[in-house]
Amino acid sequence: MRFALLPVAGVRAGMRHAARPEWLLLWGGLAALYVPTLYRLLTEVWNKPAQAHGPIILVLALWLMWRKWQLLRAACGGDRPSGYGWMLLAPALLLYVVGRSQQILLFEIGSVPVLLAAVLLLKHGPRALRLQCFPLFFMLFMVPLPEAVVSALTMPMKLAVSLVTEKMLYAAGYPVGRQGVILQAGQYQLLVADACAGLQTVFTLEAMGLLYLNLVRHAAKLRNTVLALLIVPVSFAANVIRVTVLVLVTYYLGEAAGQGFIHQFAGMVLFVSALLLILSVDGALGALLPFHAGGKRARAVPAGAGQHE
């Protein structure tokens, strides 16, 4: 795997370019729109455990955009700005106005990638938008989902995780039973909560898997496609591992241990197990699909290295 380092001169040139009056006006306008939104997210939304992934998604999305910025200028230096950006700018501002005035975060935050896409089209053209397509898509993972959608999808997921956990532990010889989303492990009862197997958890794991896929970017398109499809069952398996660990900790160490510090540590177990599962699946796909259509062995190609997309 090769990584291309940007020359210092190119970074300084990009900083001078960003300091032009029109860019200062643009960034000032974006700040006026979204700094109050960011403050609301930090104080009302992202301070909750179910939405703690929000700031991480934002930082990663901005980093992904920054690492492609010099490549964007090199690839799109002669590209003409596109008037189609106005067709995106109008609905983006409408989304923002409606979301801000009616306190609908889905619209208010959802307007961010649409507005940035419009700016890219207006300033740099279609090729710039193609280069920044994934970072803009990645931003969607920080958009808080409506409670009705979360509630409707979370219960079936919790039931499925509870069922698989019960079957696995019972097959391993543990005295485990289940009633709905309540697991009975010996003398202890454990409720599988939304934070353990809910939609938001799977949403975060999906984002992590897609980020890994974008950074690795194998030359074999079939391998990328299959890995992207397998991110969903990998996320489910990681949730099963987390709940299984909690049940075993409670069974051996008692309820206080299961609900205390080790319960918080289970969040780390979730992400570590998800990462290990993704790496394992990726390695297995590399062994099963070692060649792409051209007959050459597939290799990892970092995003933006030696290509203009």
Distances (CA, A) of 158 to 140, 196, 207, 297: 24, 8, 20, 41
Q: For 27, what's the count of Cα atoms within 13 Å in the CB-facing half-sphere?
A: 7
**Catalytic status, residue 196:** yes
CA–CA distance, 87 with 118 (Å, rounded to integer)? 8
Catalytic residue among 100, 178, 196, 223: 196
Please provide the DSSP assignment of 191-235 as one string. Answer: E--HHHHSHHHHHHHHHHHHHHHHHH-BS-HHHHHHHHHHHHHHH
> Residue 39: CB partners within 8 Å, gap ≥ 6?
none
CA–CA distance, 41 with 22 (Å, rounded to integer)? 28
Do residues 161 and 192 lie in contact, with contact meaning Cβ atoms separated by under 8 Å? yes
Do residues 263 and 185 lie in contact, with contact meaning Cβ atoms separated by under 8 Å? no
**Catalytic status, residue 12:** no
Q: Which residues are catalytic?
A: 196, 242
